[in-house]
Amino acid sequence: MNQTLSPAAVPGSVVGTGSPSVASPTFSPLYQQIKALITQSLQSGEWKPGELIPSEVELAFRYKVSQGTVRKAIDELSAENLVVRRQGKGTFVATHHEARAQFRFLRLMPDAGEAHQPENRIFEVKRLRAPAEVARVLDIKSGDSVVFIRRLQYFEGVPTILEEIWLPGVIFKGLTAERLAEYKGPMYGLFETEFGTPMVRASEKLKAVAADAGTVELLGVVPGTPLLSVERVAFTYGDRPVELRRAIYITDQHHYHNELS
């Protein structure tokens, strides 16, 4: 028999499922319910990126389950990179403010030599009404406010990535070119700490395209040069899409690295 946590109670107790009704509510294992509760606490900001979450023993007491069940829940959250375990210390909410997380969303590597931090140049940051296509992807209404960013990234001083980024205006209200420019470190770090929106996973579509008139002068390549087009949709907790990013990579000295397993 399955068990179910009382829906509202965060410090809930284990209860029976009762007799199955007509439209039987799809039961999920206890550890999945615990996992959902922990994810809710992450989403609500109860535990912020970089912070220590309660210990397994503490959570087991709170949810009235065994430590092993909490453990299995956290195991999955750890596998999904939502939290990071550190033996002897505790479990921490994953953050983009770590060398470790920097290259999870940046797969462009130099063909030879070590990977370096890119530098940025912001071209523009402005508010727009969301085009239908952008609205659809971000799961907002067409015409809703969006923040539009255009920037260039340099590797070792060489312009390499040209990006256009769309963000929901509601979430990224106070985002300005100044704040972006003065911010040290990866953009997702800023999104996380300044706007309470950590990027958790992303989906990308890659194509080879020819350099067009607009990109030629910005990237300093001849027209027709083959470039790697990368369209990304990034998601925060609860699989909510919060970023559409269209990028052009110059791949004569770099490559997009991918592991298949």
Partner DNA sequence: AAGTGGTCTAGACCACTTT
Partner DNA sequence: AAGTGGTCTAGACCACTTC
Q: Which amino acid is at 157?
A: G
- Contact track, DNA, 95-134, x by CB under 7 A: ----------------------------------------
Least Cβ distance, residue 100 to DNA (angstroms): 15
Is 203 an interacting residue with respect to a second copy (CB under 8 A)?
yes
Is 148 an interacting residue with respect to a second copy (CB under 8 A)?
no
Interface segment toward DNA; rule CB under 7 A; list 79-87, 151-159, 176-184, 248-256: 79-87
Among 210, 214, 217, 238, binds a second copy (CB under 8 A): 210
How is 124-189 classified by DSSP, letter by letter? Answer: EEEEEEPPHHHHHHHTS-TT-EEEEEEEEEEETTEEEEEEEEEEETTTTTT--HHHHHH--S-HHH
Q: Which residue has the tokens 């312009």?
A: 159
Assign 41 to helix, strand or coil. helix
Is 29 an interacting residue with respect to DNA (CB under 7 A)?
yes
Neighbours of 116 (CB within 10 A): 11
Least Cβ distance, residue 3 to DNA (angstroms): 5
**Residue 224 to residue 218: CA distance in whole angstroms:** 14
Is 41 an interacting residue with respect to DNA (CB under 7 A)?
no
Among 51, 58, 80, 156, binds a second copy (CB under 8 A): 80
Is 248 an interacting residue with respect to DNA (CB under 7 A)?
no
Is 161 an interacting residue with respect to a second copy (CB under 8 A)?
no
Is 26 an interacting residue with respect to DNA (CB under 7 A)?
no
Query: Would you state the structure tokens that stand for residue 225, as one six-digit string?
Result: 């040069």
Query: Would you state the structure tokens that stand for residue 72, as one six-digit string?
Result: 């299995």
CB 179 within 8 A of CB 194: yes
Binding-site partner at residue 257 among DNA, a second copy, none, CB < 5 to 8 Å by type: a second copy
CB 148 within 8 A of CB 125: yes
Residues that bind a second copy (CB under 8 A): 79-81, 104-105, 107, 200-210, 224-229, 232, 249, 251-252, 255-261
